[in-house]
A and B are shown apart, each in its own frame.
Chain A
Amino acid sequence: MGEGTKPNKNNQEPKTMDWFVINLLNGISYGMVLFLIAAGMSIVLGAMGVTNLAHGALYMVGAYVGWTVAVKWGAGFGLGLLAGGLSAGLVGLAIERGLLRHLYKKPNEQVLLTFGFVYILANLCLWIWGGWPRMPFTAKFLTGSMEILGRSYPKARIAVILVGLILAVVLWWLQEKTRMGAIVRAGMDDKETTMGLGINLERAFALIFFVSSFIAGSAGVIGAQLLGVHNALGMDVLLLALIVIIVGGVGSIQGALLGGILIGVIDAFGKAIFPQLAMFTMYVTMIVVIIVRPSGLLGRKI
C-alpha cells in the first residue's frame, strides 16, 4: 500500500454525524429493550437469590400472547401489552408457587428446573402457535417516523426509549422509596431477621416474581418490533439478559439500565463497523468487564 493512500478510502459507510446519531439512537432503543429484558431477572436474582433461566421463555410467552391479541384478534396494542404481561406473569407465578418455592437457597436446582421450563415453554409455544416466525409489530399510532434533531427516525423506537426510561424510574422508586422495596432490600441482606420481624417474605417473593415475569411478558410485546416473535426467543433473550446482568451487575435497577444501554450501543456500532461479527462485540465487552470488575459495573461486591 502506498504511503499516501488512506485505508478507509473505499469504505462504504460515510462516518458522518448522521451515521453517528442514527446508530446511537438505534443502540439506545435496543439497549432499552435489553433493559426491559434484564431488569426483572436481575431483581429476582438480587432480591430472592433465584436464578430464573426461564425468564427468556416468559418473554417469549408474552410476545406470542401479545401478538395473538394485538395482531390476530386486532384488539389493539395496549390490550396486547396487558395480555402479554399478564400471561407471562401468571405462568411465572405458577412456576414460583408450584416448584421454585421449594428450592430457595439451592442455586443448582433452580438453574436446572428453570432451564427445564425453557424447553417446556418453547415446545408448548411451538405446539400452540406453530413454527413460523411472526412479523414484527407495534402500535398503530407508532408506525411511521418523526423528526428528531433534524433527522427522521421511527416513532416506535423513540417510544421504546421512553417506555424504558419510565419503567426504570418506576422500578427505582419501588425499590428505594416504598415499603415493599424496603422489605426486599432487608430480605436480601438478612432473610432470617426480616422474617423474625414478622414480615411475610413468602408473599413478597411471590409478588416480586409475578412483577418480574409481568415485565418480561410485556417486554416481549414491546420488543417484538425489534426482535420479532419466534420460537428460539426463549434462549436468545436469556442470553441477552445474562450478558446485560454480567455487565451491569446483579440486583440493581441502575445496573440493568447501564448494562442494557452500554451493550445496546456497543452492539449497534459493532454491527455497523464489523457486520460479519454480529454478536461478538457483546461478548468482548462482557469479558473485558469480567476481567476489570467481576461483579459488574454497578454490582454489589461479591
Chain B
Amino acid sequence: METIKHDNGQDGWISHGLPYLLGILVLLVTPLFLDTYGQGLMTRFLIFGLFAMSFNIVFGYAGLMSLGHAAFFGAGGYTVALLKLHYEVDLFWISAPLGILVATVIAALFAIIALRASGIYFLLVTFALGQMLYSLAWNVKWLNSKGMQGITGITLPDLGIAGFTLETLSFYYLVLIIFLLSCVLLYRLIISPFGLALEGIREGEPRMEAVGYNTWFLKYAAFVVSGSFAGLAGVLFAYYNFFVSPNHLGIATSFLPMVMVIMGGLGSFLGPVVGAAVFIFVENFASILSPQRWPLVLGTLFVLTIMFARDGIGVYLWRLWTKWRPDFGSAKN
C-alpha cells in the first residue's frame, strides 16, 4: 500500500518528526491562552495520556489484558494522599518517588499471582486483585479521611524551591515535563530488544519460548514497568484532583486506559494519547451538557468505539498523515 519510502536523511526526519514537534508546540503554547479550567483540563489529559501509555505496554505490546491497572494508579495517588493526611508531607521529591515505589511493589506482587493465569483468567484475576485494593480502601479507616470515603485535602506539591509555589499553570508545565520524559523513556523501551520481544510474545508466545526467551520474566518485567508508570500517573492525578477515592483503585478507573488505548490505536505508541484526548474532550462535553447522563454517554462511547473505531482513531489519523505526507516532502525538495 505504501509506495513512498521515507528513509533518506533529513526529508524522512521532517516528515516523521513534524507531527511530534507540532504536538509538543501545541502542548507548550495552548495553555497560555486558556483559563485555569482549560489548563486543568489539559493537565487531566496529560495525566490520563500517561496512564493509557503505561497500560499500552501490557495491553498493546505484550498482549496481556489487565483489568486491574487502576490498582497501581490508585496506589500512587493514595501514597501521596496518605503522606499528606498522616504525615503532613507534600514535598514533591518525597511523595512522588514513594508513590511510584508503592505502585511498583504492588505491581510486582500482583504480577506474581496474575501471571499464573493466562488468557481470560488473567483478566479475571487482575480484575479481582484490583477490586481487593478497592475494598481495602473502602473498609480500612486509616485509608480514609475522617468521616468519609476517600482522602481530601491534597494540595499541589511543594517543589522545595524557596519562594516558588506551584499553581495551575506551572503545575501543568511540571506534568508536561514528566509526560514528555516518560514518553521518551517508554519509547526507548518499546524499540529496545525487550520491547520487540514483548511484541513477539503477543504474536506467539509458544514460539518465543521455543526460541529460548524467558517469556514469563519478560511479561513480568513489562507488567511491573507498566505498573510503575501507572503509579506515576496516579501520583500526578492526586496532586491534580486534590482528592482520591476507592473508585480510583477499582474497575471503573481500570477501564479508562483500556477504552483510551482501543480508541486511540492498540499497540501504536502515541495512539493512547490520542485516545485520551478524545476521551477527555467527550467527558468534558458530556459533563457540561448533562452530568447525570455521563455514564450513558460513556457506555455508548465504549460501544461505538468497539463497533466502529476498532483500529483506533490515532491509527486513522496517522494513516491520513502518511497519505498527505509525500506531497509535503516533494515540495521541500
Question: Residues of A at under 8 Å CB distance from B?
Answer: 45, 51, 99, 102-103, 107-109, 111-113, 115-124, 126-127, 235, 239, 242-243, 245-246, 250, 276-280, 283, 286-287, 290-291, 294-295, 302
Helix, strand, loop or mixed for chain B's interface?
helix
Query: Are B306 and A109 in contact, CB atoms less than 8 angstroms apart?
Result: yes
Residues of A close to B255: CB separation below 8 A: 112, 115
Residues of B close to A243: CB separation below 8 A: 128
- Given the interface contacts A283-B131, A294-B116, does A242 sit within 8 Å of B124 by beta carbon? yes
Q: Tell me how far the C-beta of A7 lies from the nearest C-beta in chain B, rounded to whole angstroms.
A: 23
Query: Are A103 and B136 in contact, CB atoms less than 8 angstroms apart?
Result: no
Q: Tell me how far the C-beta of A109 lies from the nearest C-beta in chain B, rounded to whole angstroms.
A: 5
Offer 16 A-B interface pairs, CB within 8 angstroms, sorted by A: A99-B306, A102-B307, A103-B306, A111-B65, A115-B302, A117-B303, A119-B296, A119-B299, A120-B303, A250-B120, A277-B139, A278-B135, A279-B139, A280-B132, A283-B132, A287-B129
| Interface residue? B310 (CB, 8 A) | yes
From the candidates B139, B252, B258, B300, name the one contacting A112 in the complex (CB within 8 A): B258
| Interface residue? B143 (CB, 8 A) | no
| Interface residue? B295 (CB, 8 A) | yes
Residues of A close to B128: CB separation below 8 A: 239, 242-243, 246, 283, 286
Residues of B close to A287: CB separation below 8 A: 113, 129, 132
Query: Are B139 and A107 in contact, CB atoms less than 8 angstroms apart?
Result: no
Q: Tell me how far the C-beta of A121 lies from the nearest C-beta in chain B, rounded to whole angstroms.
A: 8
| Interface residue? B225 (CB, 8 A) | no
Residue in chain A with minimal CB distance to B296: A123
Residues of A close to B300: CB separation below 8 A: 116, 120
From the candidates B67, B119, B301, B310, name the one contacting A116 in the complex (CB within 8 A): B301
CA distance A113 to B307 in the complex (A): 8
Size class of the contact patch on chain B: 35 or more
Residue in chain B with minimal CB distance to A283: B132
Query: Are B302 and A113 in contact, CB atoms less than 8 angstroms apart?
Result: yes
From the candidates A99, A107, A121, A294, name the one contacting B123 in the complex (CB within 8 A): A107
Residue in chain A with minimal CB distance to B310: A109
Query: Are A242 and B299 in contact, CB atoms less than 8 angstroms apart?
Result: no
| Interface residue? B274 (CB, 8 A) | no
CA distance A214 to B310 in the complex (A): 30
Residues of B close to A290: CB separation below 8 A: 113, 116-117, 125
Residues of A close to B135: CB separation below 8 A: 278-280, 283
Query: Are A302 and B119 in contact, CB atoms less than 8 angstroms apart?
Result: yes
CA distance A299 to B116 in the complex (A): 15
Query: Are B124 and A112 in contact, CB atoms less than 8 angstroms apart?
Result: no
Query: Are B139 and A118 in contact, CB atoms less than 8 angstroms apart?
Result: no
Given contacts A119-B295, A278-B139, 5 further A-B contacts (CB under 8 A): A108-B59, A126-B292, A246-B121, A280-B135, A280-B136
Residues of A close to B129: CB separation below 8 A: 287
Residues of B close to A117: CB separation below 8 A: 299, 303
| Interface residue? B118 (CB, 8 A) | yes
Q: Tell me how far the C-beta of A114 lies from the nearest C-beta in chain B, rounded to whole angstroms.
A: 9
| Interface residue? B332 (CB, 8 A) | no
| Interface residue? B298 (CB, 8 A) | yes
